[in-house]
Amino acid sequence: MAKMLFILNDPPYGSERSFNALRLAGSLVRRDGQDVRVFLMGDAAACAKRNQKVPQGFYNIEVMLHAVARRGGEVGVCGTCMDARGIDAGELADGAHRSSLDELTAWTEWADRTLVF
C-alpha cells in the first residue's frame, strides 16, 4: 500500500493551492492501495472550519476534506495554528481532528511520499 502525506499551508480560498491538493488527495484516496493523510497547518487550518458557505457553483473545501475522510483518509489540523486563528475543536469539519507537530512528525515518518502545498 502506498502511503501519501499531504501538508497544506495555504488558506481555503484566495489561492487554489489547497483546492488542488485536495483534488489530488481525493483522487488518490479513491484508488485501491492508497493510504492518504492530510495535515493542515498555518492558514490551511481554516480549511477544516465547519459550515463553510460559498457561492453556488464554487468549490467547497469543507466538502472536499470530508470526502477524503469519508473514504478512509485522515485529516489532522495543527492545534497551535487553530489556537492562533481562534478555531475551537468543536468547529472542525466532520472527519478532521485537532492534531499536533508530534503527530505530523509520526505521519512524516510513516509516509512513502510527502507532498507540500
- Output the pLDDT for position 67: 97
- Output the pLDDT for position 75: 98
- Output the pLDDT for position 115: 98
Q: State how many domains the chain has.
A: 1
Categorize the per-residue pLDDT at 9 as very low, low, confident or very high, splitting at 50, 70 and 90.
very high
- For residue 39, the one-letter residue type is F
Place of cell 486563528: 85
- Output the pLDDT for position 83: 98
What tens digit of pLDDT does each residue of 19-67 get? 999 999 999 999 999 999 999 999 999 999 999 999 999 999 999 999 9
What tens digit of pLDDT does each residue of 94-109 get? 999 999 999 999 999 9
Domain hosting residue 66, numbered range: 2-116
Angle (nearest 5°) at CA 59 between 54 and 65 = 100
C-alpha 14/C-alpha 58 separation (Å) is 12
Q: What is the CATH number of the domain that holds 95?
A: 3.40.1260.10
Question: What single-letter DSSP state applies at residue 93?
Answer: P
